[in-house]
């Protein structure tokens, strides 16, 4: 089994983190901390032993999560597909983990960005998970399928075009098979949808709980560990900054209070850890490979 495939349990649920690949973000300070003063960012980076002058790339994993509840096999996000030469490995990695695409019952699409829905469709245009039903927030579906306006994002135009092209290719084939949520609810027993708008209009987080244990999957509510210490610093791809900050406060406070295991999509693999409240923010305690699972 690939060393990057990480298994762990949440109560009676078996969870498997399966990578789709990685992506190197250029100029990460500008991408992740778009509204933050440069001197404050430099100081925060140095406090974490990162030289701001040498921080030219941030290599992010693109991890999908499979939760086997015993009665349903749920996949959370489908990776980036052919977005880059370093992505598009979800299907072979699922098979390496002993998970056939046909065994997936439900696919949760947390939001419409290219790195989360890029694996919905295979190269020949067929659904990658042919037996699955899909779940997405209604506001998210309607935004991305009805001429989305990305003009407010302070990013190069080619990034906007990549986001639009991915949504146009990977979402319409789900029509008729997607359940559109309008409120927080239980998707299957033990897996709850949490409204976390801001990064996108219908961005979704998840609470996965079994036998007294809980995993909070924050997805893209935060993109870098410094967002926990500085929740007011938003990224260049957070479409609704004020709602992003509000979602962070809600979910990070919950994670700390409930002492939950936390997963974050773009954090260094395996992206698992815990959150602790400190002063006006929070800190991230990353779990290393072997500390929780195998």
**pLDDT tens readout for residues 139-166:** 999 999 999 999 999 999 999 999 999 9
pLDDT band (50, 70, 90) for residue 290? low
Q: Give Cβ neighbours of residue 215 (< 8 Å, ≥ 6 apart).
A: 10, 15, 206, 207, 208, 209, 260, 261, 262, 263
Look at residue 1 in the predicted model and tell me its pLDDT: 41
pLDDT (tens digit per residue) in 114-123: 999 999 999 8
| d(C-alpha 294, C-alpha 54), whole Å | 33
- The answer on pLDDT for 293 being more than 90 is no
- The answer on pLDDT for 125 being more than 90 is no
pLDDT band (50, 70, 90) for residue 288? confident
User: Is the Cβ–Cβ distance between 141 and 178 less than 8 Å?
Assistant: yes
pLDDT band (50, 70, 90) for residue 83? very high
pLDDT band (50, 70, 90) for residue 289? low
Closest CA to 206 of 138, 278, 135: 135
pLDDT band (50, 70, 90) for residue 3? low
DSSP tag of 92? H
| d(C-alpha 41, C-alpha 233), whole Å | 9
Question: If residue 179 lies in a helix (H) or strand (E), which one and from where to where?
Answer: strand 178-181
pLDDT-above-90 percentage for the chain:
94
| d(C-alpha 123, C-alpha 132), whole Å | 18
pLDDT (tens digit per residue) in 211-247: 999 999 999 999 999 999 999 999 999 999 999 999 9
| d(C-alpha 37, C-alpha 288), whole Å | 31
- The answer on pLDDT for 257 being more than 50 is yes
The dihedral of CA 254, 256, 257, 258: what is its sign? positive
pLDDT band (50, 70, 90) for residue 291? low
Closest CA to 284 of 234, 230, 247, 215: 230
Backbone angles phi, psi at 241, to 5 degrees: -55, -45
The token pair that represents 167 in the structure block: 């949504």
Residue 228's Cβ-count burial label (10 Å; 0-12, 13-18, 19+) is buried
Q: Which domains does the chain have, with CATH numbers?
A: 6-286 (3.60.15.10)
Look at residue 155 in the predicted model and tell me its pLDDT: 95
């Amino acid at each position: 089994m690939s060393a990057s495939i990480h298994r762990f349990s949440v109560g009676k649920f078996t969870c498997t983190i399966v990578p789709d690949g990685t992506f190197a973000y250029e100029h990460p300070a500008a991408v992740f901390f778009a509204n933050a003063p440069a001197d404050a960012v430099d100081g925060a980076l140095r406090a974490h032993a990162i030289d701001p002058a040498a921080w030219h790339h941030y290599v992010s994993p693109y991890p999908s999560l499979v939760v086997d509840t015993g009665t349903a096999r749920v996949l959370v996000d489908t990776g980036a597909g052919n977005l880059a030469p370093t992505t598009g490995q979800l299907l072979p990695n699922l098979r390496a983990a002993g998970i056939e695409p046909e065994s997936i019952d439900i696919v949760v699409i947390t939001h419409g960005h290219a790195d989360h829905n890029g694996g919905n469709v295979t190269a020949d245009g067929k659904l990658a998970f042919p037996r699955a039903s899909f779940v997405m927030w209604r506001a998210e579906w309607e935004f991305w399928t009805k001429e989305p306006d990305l003009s407010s994002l302070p990013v190069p135009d080619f990034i906007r075009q990549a986001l639009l092209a991915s949504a146009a290719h990977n979402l319409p084939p789900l029509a008729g098979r997607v359940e559109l949520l309008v409120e927080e609810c239980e998707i299957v027993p033990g897996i709850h949808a949490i409204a976390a708008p801001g990064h996108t209009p219908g961005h979704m987080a998840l609470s996965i709980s079994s036998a007294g244990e809980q995993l909070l999957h924050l997805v893209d509510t935060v993109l870098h560990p410094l967002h926990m210490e500085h929740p007011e610093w938003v990224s260049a791809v957070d479409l609704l900054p004020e709602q992003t900050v509000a979602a962070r406060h809600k979910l990070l406070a919950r994670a700390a209070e409930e002492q939950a295991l936390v997963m974050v999509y773009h954090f260094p693999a395996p992206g698992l850890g815990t959150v602790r409240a400190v002063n006006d923010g929070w800190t991230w305690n990353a779990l290393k490979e072997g500390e929780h699972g195998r």
